[in-house]
């Protein structure tokens, strides 16, 4: 008989689900400095952004950043639970994936004043072989003076702390392994992870504090940010298809990527070039992120 005792029972889940429908609005100005900094971090040879320059796809993650006071930061480096996001009692929090749709006729541009309307769409609980999980889905709408420029659905997953002998996620081979038209190898050193954390004002200690991530959360090394891997997948498209304009992008994190080894990003376009299948894989060839991009 299992001695599994969930941290989230029916009453606790009902309480957490009262956050569904909660909204907040965050304003920001699209400035050039974060764009220049990310271009350098990704080792790109971009022209300096100027007023009116279009924000590259996924680079909006450089804006609308949480600015919690230092006294409000929890032991994992995130703002303490509660507030906009529900106070989930599971300690490990990860960005699990997302879906984005751009209005091709109304891109975000340097110099714009933009509002992000965020709404919690769902709070779901699951208990399975790997323990209990809680999923929070948040919708973000980014509005400039002309209306909605971008809609994003953001998936967050919460997990318990690692237990002795806990099995890693079952490895998967990329469905298109060996069929990539484009590939790049990425070395996720401490500096790359630090720079991306700094650019996104992300204090989550799993990305820079090796003692914390190994001794408290039970991972073997620093974790490469899911949004950074997604950004590198889109960057592969931009390098391979100059002038590419994305209309949608969907991605799902499958397996953690650690800084202990190089990893690679890959892509292969459809026959008409409008749909691109993308994936990241670790040094052993296992799938770590899967994505699809649609071009205008």
Residues 6 or more apart whose CB falls under 8 angstroms from that of 288 comprise 229, 253, 254, 255, 256, 257, 263, 279, 280, 281, 282
CA distance 149 to 146: 8
Cα separations in angstroms, 28 against 66, 116, 142, 293: 11, 8, 10, 26
Q: What is the extent of the structural domain holding 179?
A: 10-295
- At 91 the pLDDT is 84
Tokens of 196: 């991306």
In which order are the strands placed within the sheet that holds 113-128? 23-29, 113-128, 131-144, 147-159, 92-102, 246-253, 287-295, 275-281, 263-269, 182-186
CA distance 137 to 124: 9
Q: Is residue 2 part of a domain?
A: no
pTM for this structure? 0.93
Helix (H) or strand (E) holding 183: strand 182-186
Q: Which residue is listed with tokens 């009692």? A: 89
Could you give the number of structural domains in the chain? 1
Tokens of 280: 């990241």
Tokens of 264: 């690679």
Cα separations in angstroms, 126 against 9, 123, 129, 217, 252: 11, 10, 10, 20, 18
Q: What are phi and psi of 215, to 5 degrees?
A: -90, -30
Q: Which of 1-5, 6-10, 161-165, 235-239 has the lowest mean pLDDT?
A: 1-5
Of the candidates 257, 95, 260, the one whose C-alpha atom is nearest the C-alpha of residue 190 is: 260
Tokens of 57: 């796809």
- At 130 the pLDDT is 66
Residue 271: CB atoms within 10 Å:
6
Helix (H) or strand (E) holding 210: helix 210-215
Mean pLDDT over 129-157 rounds to 94
Q: Is residue 4 part of a domain?
A: no
Mean per-residue pLDDT of the chain: 93
Q: Are the C-beta atoms of residues 119 and 173 closer than 8 Å to each other?
A: no
Model confidence pLDDT, tens digit, residues 225-282:
999 999 999 999 999 999 999 999 999 999 999 999 999 999 999 999 999 999 999 9
- At 212 the pLDDT is 94
Q: Is residue 133 part of a domain?
A: yes
Mean pLDDT over 209-232 rounds to 95
Q: Are the C-beta atoms of residues 260 and 188 closer than 8 Å to each other?
A: no
């Amino acid at each position: 008989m299992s001695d599994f005792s969930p941290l989230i029972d029916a009453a606790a889940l009902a309480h957490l689900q009262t956050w569904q429908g909660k909204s907040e609005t965050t304003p920001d100005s699209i400035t050039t400095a974060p764009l220049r900094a990310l271009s350098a971090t990704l080792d790109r040879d971009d022209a300096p952004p100027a007023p009116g320059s279009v924000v590259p796809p996924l680079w909006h993650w450089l804006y609308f950043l949480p600015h919690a006071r230092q006294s409000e930061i929890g032991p994992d480096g995130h703002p303490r639970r509660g507030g906009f996001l529900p106070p989930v009692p599971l300690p490990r929090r990860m960005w699990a994936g997302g879906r984005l749709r751009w209005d091709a006729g109304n891109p975000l541009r340097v110099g714009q004043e933009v509002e992000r309307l965020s709404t919690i769409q769902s709070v779901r609980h699951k208990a399975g072989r790997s323990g209990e999980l809680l999923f929070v889905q948040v919708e973000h709408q980014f509005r400039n003076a002309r209306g909605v420029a971008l809609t994003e659905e953001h998936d967050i997953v919460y997990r318990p702390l690692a237990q002795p002998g806990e099995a890693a996620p079952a490895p998967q081979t990329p469905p298109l392994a060996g069929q990539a038209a484009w590939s790049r190898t990425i070395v996720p050193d401490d500096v790359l992870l630090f720079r991306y954390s700094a650019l996104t004002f992300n204090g989550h200690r799993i990305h820079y504090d090796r003692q914390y991530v190994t001794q408290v959360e039970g991972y073997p090394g620093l974790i490469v940010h899911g949004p950074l891997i997604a950004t590198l997948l889109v960057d592969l498209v931009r390098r391979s298809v100059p002038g590419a304009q994305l209309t949608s992008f969907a991605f799902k994190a499958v397996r953690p990527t650690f800084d202990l080894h190089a990893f690679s990003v890959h892509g292969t376009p459809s026959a008409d070039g409008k749909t691109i299948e993308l994936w990241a894989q670790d040094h052993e060839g296992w799938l770590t992120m899967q994505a699809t991009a649609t071009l205008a």
